[in-house]
Amino acid sequence: MTKFSQTLKVRSYELDAQGHVNYAVYLSYLEYARVATMEQLGIPFQDYFQKGTGIVIVEAHIKYLHPATLGDELEITLEGMNPGKTSLTFRQDIFNAKTGKKLFEGELVAVFLNKEGKPIPMDEDFRKAFL
């Protein structure tokens, strides 16, 4: 399996009252990394949307290990695993890019859906790109 990586810098509006990245923002970071990676792989998320196919996160198991703060550069990794007929699990971790310290880990299950919200077989281009 191939591991992909995206980087971003923590912005002030992502912080909570303690000066740490707000817990909910980490899920946005994971989404950013998945969508940016799909674009780089030539399978843009918006193409699926325009075809009426949804790629929806239906389950998330996440663990916060250490806080990120303003100005930290983060590396968000992802790799596909445990493919099913209609789903794929993403392993996604977030590291402080400068220190290499792991800040966050998670596994998210994505399911392919049609316009009616019913599961459909995973797109083969998507499967090949992430497995």
pLDDT of amino acid 2: 85
Largest Cα span, the chain: 45
Whether the CA torsion 34, 38, 39, 41 is positive or negative: it is positive
- pLDDT band for position 14 (50/70/90)? very high
Average pLDDT over residues 99-104: 98
Ramachandran assignment for 27, one of left (phi > 0), alpha (psi -120 to 50 degrees), beta (any other): alpha
Strand 73-81 and strand 87-96: pairing?
antiparallel
pLDDT digits (tens, 9 = 90+) for 53-76: 999 999 999 999 999 999 999 999
Domains and CATH numbers, the chain: 4-130 (3.10.129.10)
| Spatial CA neighbour of 41 closest among 84, 92, 8, 78 | 78
Global pTM reads 0.94
Read off the pLDDT of each residue in 92-96 and give the average, rounded to a whole number. Answer: 98
- Residue 1: pLDDT over 80: no
